[in-house]
Amino acid sequence: MALGVLGMTAEQFWHTTPRELRWMIDGWQERRRQAYEDMAVHAAWICSHLVGKPVSADRLLGRKLQRTSDLHPAMQEHMLSKRWDQVH
């Protein structure tokens, strides 16, 4: 993983602590997860247009949908602000 996906040289690998390597792997996994989410959003837009009804990115990713009304008000506010930030 380190020498392949992370693009580290052997020297960099041997001078990296296990904790630093874990952080690098976590960062790579987060970037990959974000890329899948971005692709799912675009695919949902296209699918929604083609089928004529809303299709969610969460559904395409196989996630169980959670109604916002079931969440704590602070979490609802956080989710709304996060969506606002993504749009603007």
Q: Is the pTM of this model over 0.85?
A: no
Position 35 in a domain? yes
Could you tell me the two tokens for 12?
Answer: 């960099």
Distance CA 1, CA 21 (A): 10
Low-confidence winner among 3-7, 12-16, 23-27, 65-69 (lowest mean pLDDT): 65-69
Residue range 54-73: mean pLDDT, rounded: 75
Position 81 in a domain? yes
Distance CA 61, CA 18 (A): 31
Position 65 in a domain? yes
The pLDDT of residue 87: 58
Position 1 in a domain? no
Share of the chain above pLDDT 90, in %: 35
The total domain count for the chain is: 1
The pLDDT of residue 64: 72
Checking if the pLDDT of 30 tops 90, the result is yes
Whether 5 contacts 28, CB under 8 Å? yes
Could you list the residue range(s) of the whole structural domain that residue 68 is in?
A: 10-87
Checking if the pLDDT of 54 tops 90, the result is no
Could you tell me the two tokens for 81?
Answer: 């602000």
